[in-house]
Amino acid sequence: MKRPLIAALGFLLVAVATPAMAGWPDQPIRIVVPYPAGGAVDAMLRVMAPKMSEKLGQPIVVDNRAGANANLGPAVVSKAKPDGYTLLASATFLLVNPLVDTELGWRPSDFQPIARLSMTHNLFTVGGSSPWQSLADFVAAARARPGLPIGSGGVGSPQSMAHELLRVRAGLEFNVIPYRGSPPMMIDLLNGSVVMGVLPLAAAKGMLEAGKLRALATASEERSKLLPMVPTTAEAGYPDTIVLSWYGLHAPTGTPAAIIEAVTEAARAASLNPDVQATAASAGGEIAFLETNDFIQFLNRDRERWERTVTTLSKR
């Protein structure tokens, strides 16, 4: 992993109290998703959007702007008018990317939080035919054979941070193979080109259920409700190897507070819908709605966690 330099975040995690715009919304609303169509957040938003539309009275269009380690989408939204008609499907990239890349094309202060929608677990994963049944098995093998090939979802991604934290905490050395996303990494896990990779549950769920992949541990504080038999990294002896992946909504900074509140309430209503909850679960996610103020507090805590993580890794 390239040793990152901590950039000045300038992240204003507060709601901006400005007057509501009269008549909003009177045209379709666009949610920019910085990931390809068909992914977990895309699938969830496409089932949430009609439910939110019912509440807001206007269509919601999901606009996929994937690429550049999830930096293209935020760049688009950062240049949009703060009028409530262009929103960002946000995720951990909003906190992590500024810490590892000083040339983003956007700044965290370009956005203000609306609501957290869901979360997904990140799993230390091996092929279904792998001899390793636990994270302890893998660590023992990696110590005995330095340079084992593992897959990486890209510098700065939560998944890459997870395997780097394990590398540091367990004193391991890997041959890290970078991939552009989870699907190609899963292919190489299946054929044995790489022996381990950290995957979001949302991407790996189908392969896990089919027995083609095996989860050794989840990099979280609690076990996943969808995979209750998979232990946490803390249970495996690595309590500092915790990497949360969340999905939410942000708006361009300066968006009127009344609009933020209206979108929050629409998202709250959609998150309670059984179809939305079922879609999130089938995609490997868990509905974890937080309204704006609670989301702000969560973001502040998670940002501090990522700053500590990046500081730890930059010293190694």
Q: Do 64 and 34 share a structural domain?
A: yes
- State the pLDDT confidence band at 315, using cuts at 50, 70 and 90: low
Is the residue at 8 inside a domain? no
Q: Is residue 167 part of a domain?
A: yes
Q: Check whether residue 110 and residue 250 sit in a common domain.
A: yes
Q: Are residues 63 and 210 in the same domain?
A: no
Average pLDDT over residues 244-265: 95
- On whether residue 20 sits in a domain, the answer given is no
**pLDDT band, very low/low/confident/very high, at 202 (cuts 50, 70, 90):** confident
Asked if residue 296 and residue 156 are part of one domain, the reply reads no
Is 49:62 a contact under the CB 8 Å cutoff?
A: yes
Residue 99 belongs to some domain of the structure: yes
What distance in Å separates the CA atoms of residue 95 and residue 162, rounded to the nearest whole number?
A: 15
Which of 298, 248, 226 is closest to 116 using CA atoms? 248
Within this chain, do residues 74 and 100 fall inside the same structural domain, yes or no?
yes
State residue 18's pLDDT score.
40
Does residue 109 share a domain with residue 33?
Answer: yes
Task: Report pLDDT for 244.
Answer: 80
Q: What does pTM read for this prediction?
A: 0.81
Does 9 fall in a domain?
no
Where residue 196 sits, what CATH number does that domain have? 3.40.190.10
Count structural domains, the chain.
Answer: 2
State whether 250 and 113 are in the same domain: yes
The per-residue pLDDT for 156 is 67
In a shared domain, residues 110 and 126: no
Rounded to an integer, the average pLDDT of 241-262 is: 94
Is 257 inside any structural domain? yes
| Residue 187 structural domain | 122-218
Asked which of 199, 218, 237 is the last residue of a domain, the reply is 218
pLDDT at 1: 42
pLDDT, mean of residues 121-144: 96
pLDDT exceeds 50 at position 264:
yes
Assess whether 64 and 210 both reside in one domain.
no
Higher pLDDT, 278 or 296: 296
pLDDT at 10 over 60: no
pLDDT of residue 8: 39
- In this prediction, residue 193 carries a pLDDT of 95
d(CA 61, CA 283): 20
Residue 183: inside a domain, yes or no?
yes
pLDDT confidence tier of residue 253, bands split at 50, 70 and 90: very high
Structure tokens at 122: 């990140």
DSSP assignments along the chain, one per residue: -PPP-PPP-----S----PPPTT--SS-EEEEESS-TTSHHHHHHHHHHHHHHHHHTS-EEEEE---TTTTHHHHHHHTS-SSSSEEEEEETHHHHHHHH-S--SS-GGGEEEEEEEEEE-EEEEEETT-S--SHHHHHHHHHHSTTEEEEE--TTSHHHHHHHHHHHHHT--EEEEE-SSHHHHHHHHHHTSSSEEEEEHHHHHHHHHTTSEEEEEESSSS--SSSTTSPBTTTTT-TT----EEEEEEEETT--HHHHHHHHHHHHHHHT-HHHHHHHHHTT-EEEEE-HHHHHHHHHHHHHHHHHHHHHHHT-
pLDDT tens for 37-89 read: 877 778 888 889 999 999 999 999 999 998 887 899 999 999 999 999 999 99
For residue 134, tell me if it sits in a domain: yes
Beta strands 29-33 and 86-91, pairing class? parallel
Average pLDDT over residues 291-315: 88
Residue range 281-286: average pLDDT? 80
- A 10 A CB-CB count for 221 gives 11
Report yes or no: 124 and 204 within 8 Å, Cβ to Cβ: no
Question: Could you tell me if 35 and 112 lie in one domain?
Answer: yes
- pLDDT at residue 310 above 90? no
Return the top range by mean pLDDT from 8-22, 92-106, 135-149: 135-149
Using H for helix, E for strand and C for coil, what is the string for 85-124? Answer: CEEEEEECHHHHHHHHCCCCCCCHHHEEEEEEEEEECEEE
Query: Are residues 126 and 199 both part of a single domain?
Result: yes
Query: Which band of pLDDT confidence, cut at 50, 70 and 90, is reported for residue 21?
Result: low
CATH number of the domain where residue 256 is located: 3.40.190.150
Residues in the chain: 316
Residues 131-154, mean pLDDT to the nearest whole number: 94
102 and 150 housed in the same domain: no
- Segment 269-288 shows an average pLDDT of 87
166, 200, 218 - which closes a domain:
218
